[in-house]
Structure 1
């Protein structure tokens, strides 16, 4: 028996925020430590000054790779099989670091 709960990193397009939050909840209730995106580009911010800058997006992408480093495995939230460019990069990184990757929908 491990001395700590499993750690899962949730990856996927932030357009699937609701699905990510649901997976986070389900995993947490099952006793799993979850690391996941914490900043989502909100539709109401698209026309305001609260928009996430390109610099912030780059920093968030690098931070998410560090979250993958912390995880025992990666769960990709991909309704309808959708995987965007950033998520593909995260999957490649997970594979390169030997992390198992699973998907919510067939790829």
Structure 2
């Protein structure tokens, strides 16, 4: 397997060759889905490509009605969201609360050198 750093260089070059607008990934608790949708609208209006969580597992749905299948799905969705973070040029954290999952996403994004913005900067775990 190649070095992930090499993949970032290749991704950056590919985005430039394709003349893609900036890609922003929205992160945060799914309790803020309404706010995520609003952020999606505003980021899109600003000319950015937006990727965000699509599944709100806190709301009932047949895809996660079985607890065993729901846990496996959550693992797959977490992996998919980390892939969205790798794809993105920057991260936008939505909402006034940072839980363990969102905190891990912020840490992951920063480890990749991704800029992280907050709709509520006071919740930034790296600001005292």
TM-score in terms of structure 2 length? 0.73
User: Unaligned 5+ residue runs, structure 1?
Assistant: none
More RCO (CA 8 Å, sep 6+): 1
How many angstroms apart in 1 are the aligned matches of 2:22 and 2:56? 25
TM-score in terms of structure 1 length? 0.87
Aligned counterpart, 1:88: 103
- Structure with the higher strand share, 1 or 2: 1
Task: Please report the RMSD computed on the Cα atoms of aligned residues, expressed in angstroms.
Answer: 1.6
In the alignment of these two chains, the number of paired residues is 101
Q: 4+ runs of 1 displaced by more than 2 Å?
A: 48-52
How many angstroms apart in 1 are the aligned matches of 2:62 and 2:21? 40
Q: How much does 1:49 deviate?
A: 4.6
